[in-house]
């Protein structure tokens, strides 16, 4: 299934063609049900101690275990206002895409 995933605890995507996850747990549930999306938009801070990095580490493990794979043409963006968190997401996802695309 082709879809886009927007991970953010507060904001909504600009258009309605995104599945929205408000936590790393919701993001995991969506990916388990529908597979890895064609595009992911990341916020870093997801409330309390939750972050998108938790989801990204889970995703990496699923790919390493060959349970999931990146779709052709996969892309991501980071819209976090947390500069350190945004850098961590971008760096980790850049490596993931480079190694597994």
Q: Convert the pLDDT of each residue in 28-84 to its tens digit.
A: 999 999 999 999 999 999 999 999 999 999 999 999 999 999 999 999 999 999 999
> Pick from 67, 66, 75, 64: which is nearest to 97 by CA?
75
Query: Where is 4: in which H helix or E strand?
Result: strand 4-7
pTM (2 d.p.): 0.95
At 23 the pLDDT is: 98
Confidence of residue 101 (pLDDT cuts 50, 70, 90): confident
Neighbours of 46 (CB within 10 A): 25
At 21 the pLDDT is: 98
Count Cα neighbours of 30 within 13 Å in the Cβ-side half-sphere: 22
Calpha distance 4→7 (Å, rounded): 10
At 75 the pLDDT is: 97
């Amino acid at each position: 299934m082709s879809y886009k995933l927007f991970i953010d605890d507060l904001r909504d995507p600009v258009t309605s063609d995104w599945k929205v996850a408000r936590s790393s747990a919701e993001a995991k549930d969506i990916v388990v049900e529908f597979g890895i999306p064609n595009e992911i938009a990341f916020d870093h801070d997801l409330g309390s101690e939750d972050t998108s990095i938790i989801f990204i580490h889970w995703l990496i493990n699923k790919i390493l275990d060959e349970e999931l794979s990146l779709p052709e043409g996969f892309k991501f963006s980071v819209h976090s206002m947390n500069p350190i968190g945004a850098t961590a997401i971008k760096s980790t996802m850049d490596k993931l895409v480079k190694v597994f695309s």
